[in-house]
A and B are shown apart, each in its own frame.
Chain A
Amino acid sequence: MYEQIAANKRKSALIFFFFLLMIFALAYAFGALTGMGTGGLVFAALIAGGMSFLSYWTSDSIVLAISRAKPVTKEEYPFLFNVVEGLAIAAGIPAPRCYVIDDTAPNAFATGRTPAHSVICVTTGLLQKLNRVELEGVVAHEMSHIKNFDIRVQTLAVVMVGIIALLSDWIMRSLWWGGRGRRSGRGKSGNLGAVLVVVGIFFAIFGPIIAQLLRLAVSRKREFLADASGALLTRYPAGLASALRKIADDTEPLEAANKATAHLYIVNPLKDIKGAVNKLFSTHPPIEARIAALEKM
């Protein structure tokens, strides 16, 4: 447990510094090629520092915003609040805030930086389809992610790796279209073109590393671990097993989820995509294996 927490903090720091480095390199390359000289170094440091801290402090809000989650009150959802408060007592941590996604597909995730600043988010479909013991199982699973600091790694992975992936995607695209523009004769600054070429090569090299980092961060083992420690909280593994089966049997995909946030959820919310490639990049172990592990407890 404590090793797990230490490992998660290490991984978070790794992602953080990797992000800092990438943004710094990017800003520096931009500065150098547009002829900013030594001023470029300061510029790069400021941009990198600013972006890193901003993403660290706002990552949970960003994730919640992407997922279209809304904060709710106890008067609206007494059932959810009672379950969350109960399991917070069992886990011995302060009760996380509750958010709800208005979607009939049942699913849930947790986010935040520390147990004191954490959020549990469920869909309205989950609240409708599960009974108390099942919901307790799901919330206990999320509570374990919070207690283990999995939430910090996963949330940083979404935001920081997401920003880098987005930038690389954007630069590759503008490189492609920019190149076509020049060929068709419209004049573009040669300097800017050179910047984009360098940056494009840079990302082409680091792209696989980014992907590897993401896979490292969202290791599938942690889902089994959260299932097990969740069962330890409720002392009733059958509740979570039955909830997982209900969630898996529901074929409706969750609209607010995408590839960047899919690994946060208790069950992969992107249900329509199947095939070998998807399996290779799968962030979740197969449901059947998880249920079998729970039933053996």
Chain B
Amino acid sequence: MGALLILLAVVAVVVVWIVGMYNGLVGLRNKCENAWSQVDVQLKRRYDLIPNLVETVKGYAKHEREVFEKVTQARTAAINAATVKDQGAAENQLAGALKTLFAVAEAYPDLKANQNFLMLQEELAGTESKIAYARQFYNDMVMKFNRMQQVFPSNIIAGMFHFQTREYFEIEEPAAKEPVKVQF
């Protein structure tokens, strides 16, 4: 009788422990998904801003066709990226193209004084830093999630229920850390 009770107690403890581990893993997976949707929201916001920006710059600098094409292409590539890794590469391209666009804008004083352009520039700079922060938060969550799947003993539970590690969202650090500078 006593032995049976002890056995039952041990089983109960093990079950509670497995449930706790499992729920922890599911919680982290949901946090990763939530963090990724934050990144996604900001990326979409940037895609929405770009056509406006291109139109505004076009009004003052008609001859810079190459630059506009490069930006538009990079934007399309970024929208169509399928995996987290591709997305990172495409965003790098886009960031580079935008940098060129702003460099070109420097040569047009009228454009730099345009209220609409200044607003778009601030919005874009704000969105870029939000992307950087959302990415940072996502990567932190992914790190926690992946670590829980790799360390003992939670790796046993993760293996049992086929949890999969997630990819980090990598963007070249300098481009992301130093968004388009805006001085007031």
Q: Is A bound to B?
A: yes
Residues of A bordering B, CB below 8 Å:
78-79, 81-83, 85-87, 89-92, 127-128, 131-132, 136, 233, 235-236
Within the complex, the shortest CB–CB distance from A239 to chain B, in Å, comes to 10
Instruction: Name the B residues within 8 Å of A83 (CB-CB).
Output: 126, 129
**Given that A89-B130, A128-B184 are known contacts, is A82 also in contact with B177, CB under 8 Å in the complex?**
no
**Given that A79-B184, A82-B122, A83-B126 are known contacts, is A89 also in contact with B38, CB under 8 Å in the complex?**
yes
Instruction: Name the B residues within 8 Å of A92 (CB-CB).
Output: 35, 137
Residue of B35, B38, B122, B133 near A87 (CB, 8 A) is B133
Q: A78-B119, A79-B126, A90-B136 provided; 19 other pairs, C-beta below 8 A?
A: A78-B122, A78-B123, A79-B184, A81-B126, A82-B122, A82-B123, A82-B125, A82-B126, A85-B126, A85-B130, A86-B130, A87-B133, A89-B130, A89-B137, A131-B181, A131-B183, A132-B125, A132-B181, A132-B182
Instruction: Name the A residues within 8 Å of B125 (CB-CB).
Output: 82, 132
The 3 A-B residue pairs with the shortest CB-CB distance, nearest first, are A82-B126, A90-B133, A86-B130
11 example contacts (A-B, Cβ-Cβ < 8 A) are as follows: A79-B184, A82-B130, A85-B126, A85-B130, A86-B126, A87-B133, A89-B38, A91-B137, A92-B35, A132-B181, A235-B136
In the bound complex, what is the Cα–Cα distance between A277 and B94 (angstroms)? 57
Instruction: Name the B residues within 8 Å of A79 (CB-CB).
Output: 122, 126, 182, 184
Query: Considering only CB atoms and an 8 Å cut-off, how many residues of chain B contact the other chain?
Result: 22
In the bound complex, what is the Cα–Cα distance between A83 and B42 (angstroms)? 13
B158, CB-defined interface residue at 8 Å? no
Interface SS, B side: helix
Instruction: Name the B residues within 8 Å of A85 (CB-CB).
Output: 126, 130
B53, CB-defined interface residue at 8 Å? no
Instruction: Name the A residues within 8 Å of B177 (CB-CB).
Output: 235-236
B88, CB-defined interface residue at 8 Å? no
B134, CB-defined interface residue at 8 Å? yes
Instruction: Name the B residues within 8 Å of A127 (CB-CB).
Output: 184
Do A136 and B129 touch (CB < 8 A)?
A: yes
Using an 8 Å CB-CB cutoff, how does the interface string of B20-38 with A read, 1 for contact, 0 for none? 0000000000000001001
Q: Which residue of chain A is the closest to B39 with respect to CB atoms?
A: A89
Q: Which residue of chain B is the closest to A129 with respect to CB atoms?
A: B184
In the bound complex, what is the Cα–Cα distance between A274 and B181 (angstroms)? 38
Instruction: Name the B residues within 8 Å of A86 (CB-CB).
Output: 126, 129-130, 132-133
In the bound complex, what is the Cα–Cα distance between A236 and B126 (angstroms)? 17
Within the complex, the shortest CB–CB distance from A295 to chain B, in Å, comes to 18
In the bound complex, what is the Cα–Cα distance between A127 and B132 (angstroms)? 22
Instruction: Name the A residues within 8 Å of B122 (CB-CB).
Output: 78-79, 82
